[in-house]
Amino acid sequence: MQLTYKDIKENEDVKIYIERADEQLLALGYTEHSFAHVSRVAEVGGYILRTLGYSERDVELVKIAGYLHDIGNLVNRIDHSQSGAVISFRLLDKLGMEAEDIATIVSAIGNHDEGTGVPVNPVAAALILADKSDVRRSRVRNRETVSFDIHDRVNYSVIQSLLTINDDKTAITLDLTVDTHYGTVMDYFEIFLGRMIMCKKSADKLGLQFKLLINKQAML
């Protein structure tokens, strides 16, 4: 059965799992990982593969993977990519998805975390780029700026985040507009250097050069 992104978004079990996973992270003091984040990751992942000329099925698969990628936080933040892959496997298998499609999605979800992940296929690469580029003020739930930790400061400092592929389809650029009153460029690299290295590897997998702009200054 060829499940679609729409099918997954409308599935009541999926909605519950995403809500409960985000509740866990809220209790731990993490930034937002709910429907806004996973929907954005799904759409940006789809944009990447569609722009590069991949099949519409691959576009659907990365959107499904993007929507489900953080579901493992339902179990624990530690190793959430692996537990999320297992939960997604059971869910998609139960819904009758074809084994080949499940394999692609599960391998992408299981490899999206910077601690252990590798862009093993184009869907995984697009998922990583979409996920790691979602840095923005609206993800910060703590509104007491005096009590911000470094993750809050960095996310809150990002006024705008754009991920775009150039017309020649040779480079993908993460363009950040940062309010340095809340977080410095050095703060950004302190917590996101590993993610940016993973983005570079993912761009390489897709035949692209990864570029990072902060306040229009080239960083990578």
Q: How many other C-beta atoms are found inside a 10 Å radius of the C-beta of residue 20?
A: 12
Confidence bin at 14 (pLDDT 50/70/90): very high
What are the boundaries of each domain within the chain? 5-218
Confidence bin at 191 (pLDDT 50/70/90): confident
Averaged confidence pLDDT in the chain: 94
* 132-163 pLDDT, tens digit each: 999 999 899 887 876 788 888 888 999 999 99
Task: Supply 7's token pair.
Answer: 């099918």
Q: What fold characterizes domain 5-218?
A: Hypothetical protein af1432 (1.10.3210)
CA separation for the pair 49, 46 (Å, rounded)? 5
CB 89 within 8 Å of CB 109:
no
* 96-129 pLDDT, tens digit each: 999 999 999 999 999 999 889 999 999 999 999 9
Non-local CB neighbours of 203 within 8 Å, separated by 6+ positions: 125, 129, 171, 172, 209, 210
